Structure 1
C-alpha cells in the first residue's frame, strides 16, 4: 500500500524556493532544504526524486509567482510607457525593501545551472521567450496606434525591457540603492517614447 504524502507540497516548494534564492543551488544542502521545508529527507526525495527535482519545482514556482503575472500586467491596456515604468519601479521597490537580498531565481539559475543543466536552460528560455513575446505584442499595438515610436522593432524593445529588469536584479543585489536603480528605470522608460 502506497504511503499518503503527509506534507503540503506547495508549501515545501515555496520554502525551497526561498532557500535556493538565498544560497543558490550549490550553496543549498539537502539539510538546508529539510530545515527550510520542515519535511524529512526521505519524504523530499520521495516527492521530488532529488535535489535537482526540488530545484526544478522551485524554478517553476518562481516562474508562476513572479514572471508569468507580468503578462497580465502587460495586457492590462495601460499605455506601454506607463506599464514599463510601473513594472520597473515595482521591481526596484522589491529590491530595496528586501532585507535578505534574495536573488532572482531566474538570474541565479542562468548563471549557476544553465551551463550544465539542459532542462533548466530550456525552462528559463521558455520563460524569457514568453515574457518577450507578450510584451512584443503590446509594443507592436502601441506602435501601430502611434502611442510610441516605431523607430525600433517591438521585439528589440521587449528584449531590452527583459534585460533591463534582470540587470536591475543583479545590480540591486550588489547595491540596493534606490536612487541609483531609479536612474536606470528613467533611462529605460525613455526608450519607450
Structure 2
C-alpha cells in the first residue's frame, strides 16, 4: 500500500504544543480547548479567528521552530503502519526544516520516499496540485489526515481517504488509533 500522510496531528501529536503557543500568545485569555478546536480546522483559520497581527504570527512561527521534538511525539502504532506500507510520502504545510528536524529526532527519515513541504511552492490544501504530483509519481492508494482539509484534495483525484481522530463526513475510512489500522487492513 502506498500512503500519503499529513504531518501535524496525523503522524505526530503536535497540536498540544501548538495550542500552548497560541495560548501564550493570546495571553491565556482563551481556553486551550477552544484554541485546539480552531487549530484543528487550520492554522490560517485560527489566525483569522483570533485576529493575530503579522507580528504575532511571526512570534508564533518563531516559537514553533523552537519546540523540542520530544514535545511533539508520534502517535502510538503509527510507526508499525509506516513499516507495513510499501511507500510513504508526506504532504504538509509545515516548513521542510521543521519536518526533517522532527523526523531525525525519532529516526524516521528513511520511512519516507518523499516530502512535499510548505516551502516547496505548491498551493496550500485543499488545492490538489501537490497530491496530483505525488499520486502521479507514486500511485497513492490512501491519503491519511486529521482534518477535512487533508482529504479534500485526495477525494478530488480519486484517492481513498482516511480521517484520523476526526469523524467529519466524507472520508472512506475513519481511525481513532493506528492500532485500528491493523484490524482494517489485515492481509
TM-score, normalising length from structure 2?
A: 0.34
Which is greater in Rg? 1
Report the structure, 1 or 2, having the larger helix content.
1
Is the strand fraction higher in 1 or 2? 2
